[in-house]
């Protein structure tokens, strides 16, 4: 494991709270969960594109010009150029999305009973890990841009892979755990 990951307190997915059944769920009540999934799909798409580029770069099959061309439309990269930091609006989007969840959705979910409070608490804890990984990925990519080399490339790849694993797992669990509950409890 890269030095950049050694002190992160990763959470074990097997310790996630169980998801309560919601009897009689209607199609209309499922709509807010589908909306949440669509928002998350934006994050997934960016991760897939970056993962492919990292794999091609690692194999020596992507030139700097190809990487630049293929990432030009990614929110993360376009906003890097616009705002001057790799985080840019992409990180603001993730932060804003998680802030809305942490401050509005999760307290509303938690108010639905102990099982949903446990889920909300866990999702909040997972946000902390995701944000730490985002910050470390940004730092690793900045170091790589400042001093290209195999060590910095390996660090960036290690952090990216950790973020990919944690974020994709988190998004899936969140959708399953609260997606239907949003409509069921009329939270959206």
pLDDT digits (tens, 9 = 90+) for 49-96: 777 777 776 666 665 566 556 655 555 444 444 444 444 455 666 767
159, 137 contact by CB (below 8 A): yes
* pLDDT over threshold 80, residue 109: yes
* pLDDT over threshold 50, residue 164: yes
Estimate to the nearest angstrom the gap between the alpha carbon of 36 and the chain centroid: 13
- 23 CB neighbour count, 10 Å cutoff: 6
* pLDDT over threshold 90, residue 140: no
Average pLDDT of 44-52?
Answer: 81
Q: What is the mean pLDDT of the chain?
A: 82
Q: What's the confidence (pLDDT) of residue 87?
A: 44
What is the rounded CA–CA span in Å between residue 77 and residue 68? 9
Of the listed ranges 1-5, 25-29, 65-69, 111-115, the least confidently predicted one is 65-69
Q: What's the confidence (pLDDT) of residue 60?
A: 67
Q: Tell me the domain boundaries of the chain.
A: 25-184
């Amino acid at each position: 494991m890269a030095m950049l990951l050694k002190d992160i307190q990763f959470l074990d997915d097997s310790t996630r709270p169980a998801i309560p059944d919601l009897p009689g769920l209607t199609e209309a009540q499922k709509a807010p969960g589908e909306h949440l999934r669509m928002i998350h799909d934006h994050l997934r798409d960016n991760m897939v594109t970056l993962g492919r580029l990292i794999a091609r770069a690692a194999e020596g099959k992507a030139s700097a010009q190809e990487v630049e061309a293929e990432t030009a439309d990614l929110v993360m990269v376009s906003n890097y150029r616009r705002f001057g930091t790799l985080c840019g609006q992409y990180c603001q989007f993730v932060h804003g999305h998680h802030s809305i969840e942490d401050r509005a959705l999760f307290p509303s979910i938690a108010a639905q009973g102990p099982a949903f409070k446990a889920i909300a608490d866990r999702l909040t804890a997972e946000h902390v890990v995701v944000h730490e990984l985002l910050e470390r990925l940004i730092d690793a990519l900045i170091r790589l841009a400042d001093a290209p080399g195999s060590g910095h490339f390996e660090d960036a790849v290690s952090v990216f892979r950790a973020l990919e694993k944690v974020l994709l797992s988190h998004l899936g669990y969140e959708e399953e755990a609260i997606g239907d509950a949003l409509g069921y409890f009329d939270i959206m």
